[in-house]
Amino acid sequence: MTTRHASLRRLLGSIWTAAGIAAPAGVLAASPVRPPVVEYRIDARLDPKTHVVTGHERLVWRNPSDDLVSEMQFHLYLNAFKNNRSTFMRESGGQLRGDRAGEKAEDWGAIDILSLKNGAGTDLLASSRKIRPDGNDRADETVLAVPLPSPVAPRGEIVLEIEFRSQLPRIFARTGFVRNYHLVGQWFPKVGVYEPAGLRQRKAGGWNCHAFHANSEFYADFGDYDVTLSVPSSFVVGATGRRVSETRQGDRTSYRYVQENVHDFAWTADPRFVVHEYRFEPSRDVPPEWTARAAAELGMPAGDLALKPVSIRLLLQPDHRAARPAYEEGVRVALAFYGLWFGAYPYETLTVVDPPEDGLGSAGMEYPTFITGGTIAPLARWPLRKARFTQNVTLHEFGHQYFYGMIGSNEFEESWLDEGLNTDAEYRSMSLAFGARDLVELPGGIGIGSIAVAHTFSASEKNLDPILRHAWGYATESSYGVNSYMKVGLFMAQLRNDLGPEVFARAERAFFQQWSFRHPSTADFFDAFERSSGQNLSKYRSQIVLGTARLDWQVVSAKSERAPEDSGLFDRGGARVILEKGRPSGSGKKGAPKKRAPKRWESVVLFANTGDWPHGAGARLVFEDGRVVDRALSAEARWVRLRVFSTSHLAWAAVDPDHKNAWDANRLNDSKVLGVGRGAADTRGRAASFKYLGWTAALAALVQQLLWSLA
Amino acid sequence: MKRTGALSAGFAALSRGRLILLLTFCTLVLGGLSAAPLAPAMADAFRGTLAGDHLIRNHPDFAPVEVLDFWREKAAAIAGARQSMLWAALLGVLLQIFFAGGIVETLGRDVFSVRESRAAFWAGSRRHFGHNLKCFALFALLAAIALGAWLRLTGTLAKTLFRTAPPHSAGRGAWGILVWVVALWILGSLTLLYDFARAARRWRVGIGALAAFRKAWRQSRGLRLRGLGVLLFWSVIAFAALLIVFSAAWAQRTPSGPAVAVNLALLLLLLAVRPAARVAAWGSVLALFDASEPAAHRAPLASRGIPIDVSGSGDVPQSKAPPEKPPGESAWDDDPVLPAGLPPEA
């Protein structure tokens, strides 16, 4: 069924491409693979005193390939926090997001498999071994290989019964506990992904089960989860999926959660949570103008973009009650934007966890139908009410329900496909909802937008890596961050500006719909975009995603001078005339009529692209009389000199005056101001330089005065 | 010397326009020198490109990006400005210490003509500079020890007390308030002590720094609450005035040339706020100090070696009675000897 759909899509893609039009989006969405590759049934019990989770896991694994599979591989992620010899600890130096691991004995975490048997009851634990698939550290214990007594047949299945014990670490790298708050992620033995030949351009089938690295996240197969969690009854629990039952036994309560077509399961338990439950109602929560805009960009009838109601469960810290509107706003914007532009959120529930401020190491994380936000109390108060970090993190983490949640790319190997594409969607949704200064708006007109922050981070980062790298292969942690997040946001903004919003939106939706509940690669992304847009995007792929190309158009020089008036012999109107400084020879003689030639200015502007990415730009020359001259600068040109004769002095010249080239590394050199003009030519740079120098001096003096106060 | 209330004395001190102007001028010069390394970079970035136009009009999209690009592209100029600010701040501290001598010498004394006051001010600044420098060193040392010990102690205690308490719990909040109120109280008390130690030279021209602190400690007994109240009053007034002027300057968005001139004038006013408040606070503190200084201890101005021109004025007050040593008052024991060559008190 999948193969037939793919063929049909390719055929339609060819027709649209041949017709030179972007494919209308929203056709032939991929459906989840059924029966799923994995089915987990887990019974787990939390001891909040020791912060230990003991569990029993029944795993059904279905071989998705035509290979005989004689070994299983499992992620034991919690062992990354077992000691300071793990690959994760070595790479991170024991710190992540400001948290430091291993300062106390209780900081460490680990997962132990107590028993591992197949369906026939044969013990598999004795023959299992820890392996180092990435040549990672010898002491690393995050990947377990389990040889099977008999291989799993192609399309066949195996059942495994596993007993495990997970000691949670003190909150570190997305998981753990602080006081009675528990965020339980990557806590159970999770099978790796067996990639059949052809998947992600793989030549032969095999396991993809990487060690847990400091800069990497996860990769798993889609499946069904049925998890029962036993906790003290005073604890409030939130988890992936739908809660289907709640059973109280003595002072403990068991909660059962089920969810289909997801690739992970996480949960939280804390007696302090303030629970707020509500529904996202599309008829109320989706702005009609957004629907109209999405419909126009996607070329779809608005009726086909209908979203579904979603049950939201917001688990707030008591001291963050005031942050509730910010969380709700983030969820509302996210469900509406992602739903309209990519497709309706397919699950019934969404749980949003607000971590405590001493547990922010678990903030900003995504699991299927379950995300952690993150806030601090001052963000809900003046003057930071419009510093939208809470909305931003909520929106971003929700976006991962789509990118990696449904687009199951390999976060270890191609982090840009989930973090980057999601970051781009986050920027667009933030901008749509909150305007140009979507990220921070402070009293007094100070503010900044997400894309400006991305530009700054990107331009400030040493250009050491391409966007695409294995997550642990980047030169530095910040290089991983910038390349996986911000640079992709800028690259996608550039692509959107170059393709146009309609073509871009349709291509992205086509990619999304084609690869939902699958495992796409970078090649699949470009393939989908090229097919939908009908354009060759190889220069974006090879030079930006696989390369380190920079773009920096600038105005190198600009001058505007009185053009020399004509002097000499000129053949005009069939007759030869002699001109002296624009006047006919002899006209200066006594008694001759004075006839002045009109003033002419010669303006010469030199533009150059000093980056190494050949890409065009728009140029604009504005004269003091308000006249505007626009020109296109060729992508192939290293430099372009424009010479314009006019009756007015040049006021300013600029390249890319509307900031269409999101990839441009430096905005400060994009213009030169020569004079003062009217209307469009009016600039106040001179006044600005005085004003801001004065402000700098005044602020310096004020700071000094503050020091004076101590003397 | 008339005895007036501390606050009235502070308000009266505000009439010392020249002194306030002098302090403002110094701060302006130091601020200007600090910012000077940025001038070419600013001219290049803001006058020579559209970025200045975007910035002064606060363009929602472009201004933030260009400001951040300025920050990155002109990093060397910014680093230069930061260095010069550091040195200017140091120079500013020294100037403040220097001017304190003149302020102590002349403020709140209605015995000088303007010309005399100016001369006395500079003479006092020069004469007491060494003393004030030592007092500053003592003040800095005391503040570092007292505040450091307090914050370290409370930090250690908090770790034990609130190990299992969630963030923003009532206990943590109350503790935080207590810690900072006490820290402010310590700083305020030490500031008052420091001011009194410098003021000791008002009447006891040769007193040493250590003796001045001891004297200040004794003399501020019973006055500390009032003293702290006075300092708090002027701090609040200064903060409010700063806020108002700053808001007015910040809110002024018009990009025209005259509007920028007005804006710069507002910035000047902004810089005058702190000097005015400090002069007022000095006025109040000196009034408190004078009130606590036994009249008998106040040396006649003529005996203080201050090179003021009194010819023709004839109105320099002379002490009518010799200072009497109060019985059992040990403070008198560490009185300095009057400068050599000066006549004994009349």
For A701, the closest of B31, B60, B256 (CB atoms) is B31
Query: How far B319 CA sits from the closest chain A CA (Å)?
Result: 33
The span from the first CA to the last CA of chain A, in angstroms, equals 81
Residue B53: strand, helix, or coil = helix
Query: How far B68 CA sits from the closest chain A CA (Å)?
Result: 6
CA separation for the pair B134, A150 (Å, rounded): 87
Return residues 101-160 of B near A (CB < 8 Å). Answer: 136, 140, 143
Task: Please indicate if any CB of chain B lies within 8 Å of the CB of A85.
Answer: no
Q: Which two tokens stand for residue A63?
A: 């071989």
Specify the long-range contacts of residues A465-468, CB closer than 8 Å, at least 24 apart.
A465/A548, A466/A544, A466/A545, A466/A546, A466/A547, A466/A548, A467/A416, A467/A420, A467/A491, A467/A544, A467/A545, A467/A546, A468/A414, A468/A416, A468/A522, A468/A545, A468/A546
Q: What is the pTM of this model?
A: 0.89
- Mutation target vs A (from B24, B28, B30, B53; most A CBs, 10 A cutoff): B53
CA separation for the pair A339, A304 (Å, rounded): 11
| Percent of the residues in chain B that have a pLDDT greater than 90, as a whole number | 76
Report, as an integer, the average pLDDT of A467-481.
Answer: 96
**Block residue for tokens 């997040």:** A485
For A687, the closest of B32, B68, B260 (CB atoms) is B260
Over residues A214-248, the pLDDT tens digits come to: 998 999 999 999 999 999 999 999 999 999 999 99
**Is residue A624 exposed (0-12), middle (13-18) or buried (19+ Cβ within 10 Å)?**
buried
DSSP state of A299: T
* Under 8 Å between Cβ of A489 and A450: yes
User: Regarding beta strands A129-130 and A143-152, do their DSSP bridges make them parallel or antiparallel, or are they unpaired?
Assistant: antiparallel
CA separation for the pair A221, A179 (Å, rounded): 33
- Mutation target vs B (from A708, A709, A710; most B CBs, 10 A cutoff): A708
Q: Which two tokens stand for residue A561?
A: 């001078």
Return residues 11-30 of B near A (CB < 8 Å). Answer: 27-28, 30
Look at residue A287 and tell me whether its pLDDT is greater than 70.
yes
Give the amino acid at A304: D
Higher per-residue confidence, A306 vs B112: A306
Interior angle at CA A542, CA A540 and CA A545, nearest 5: 65
Q: Which two tokens stand for residue A489?
A: 């946001």
Q: Do A689 and B42 touch (CB under 8 A)?
A: yes
Computed over every residue of chain A, the mean pLDDT equals 93
Nearest to residue A615, comparing CAs of A546, A657, A552? A552
Look at residue A505 and tell me whether its pLDDT is greater than 60.
yes
Give the amino acid at B49: T
CA separation for the pair A231, B197 (Å, rounded): 65
Over residues A24-56, the pLDDT tens digits come to: 444 446 789 999 999 999 999 999 999 999 999
Return residues 28-67 of B near A (CB < 8 Å). Answer: 28, 30-32, 34-35, 38-39, 42-43, 45-53, 55-58, 60-62, 64-66
Report, as an integer, the average pLDDT of A73-85.
Answer: 96
Please provide the size of chain B in residues: 346
CA separation for the pair A191, A196 (Å, rounded): 15
Q: For position B315, what pLDDT does the model report?
A: 40
Nearest CA in chain A to B68: A456
Instruction: Write the ipTM.
Output: 0.89
Q: For position A274, what pLDDT does the model report?
A: 98
Residue B180: strand, helix, or coil = helix
CB contacts of B51 in chain A (<8 Å) are 667-668, 671, 685
User: Helix/strand/coil (H, E, C) string of A656-675?
Assistant: CCCCCCCCECCCCCCEEECC
Nearest to residue A89, comparing CAs of A97, A78, A98, A81? A81
Look at residue A128 and tell me whether its pLDDT is greater than 80.
yes
Task: Please indicate if any CB of chain B lies within 8 Å of the CB of A14.
Answer: no
Nearest CA in chain A to B45: A668
The span from the first CA to the last CA of chain B, in angstroms, equals 18
User: Regarding beta strands A38-47 and A370-372, do their DSSP bridges make them parallel or antiparallel, or are they unpaired?
Assistant: unpaired
Nearest CA in chain A to B33: A697
The string of DSSP codes covering A52-86 is: EEEEEEEEEEE--SSS-EEEEEEE-GGGGGS-TTS
| Percent of the residues in chain A that have a pLDDT greater than 70, as a whole number | 94
Over residues A86-119, the pLDDT tens digits come to: 999 999 998 887 788 877 888 899 999 999 999 9
Q: Where are the alpha helices (DSSP H) in B162-256?
A: 170-199, 209-219, 224-251
| Percent of the residues in chain A that have a pLDDT greater than 90, as a whole number | 84
For helices A389-399 and A324-341, give the axis angle rounded to 10 degrees: 40
Over residues B312-342, the pLDDT tens digits come to: 333 434 444 444 444 433 333 334 333 333 3
**CB-based contacts of B82, cutoff 8 Å, min separation 6:** none
Q: Do A709 and B278 touch (CB under 8 A)?
A: yes
Give the amino acid at B345: E
Nearest to residue B330, comparing CAs of B197, B211, B200? B211
Nearest to residue A235, comparing CAs of A197, A272, A276? A272
CA separation for the pair B338, B319 (Å, rounded): 15
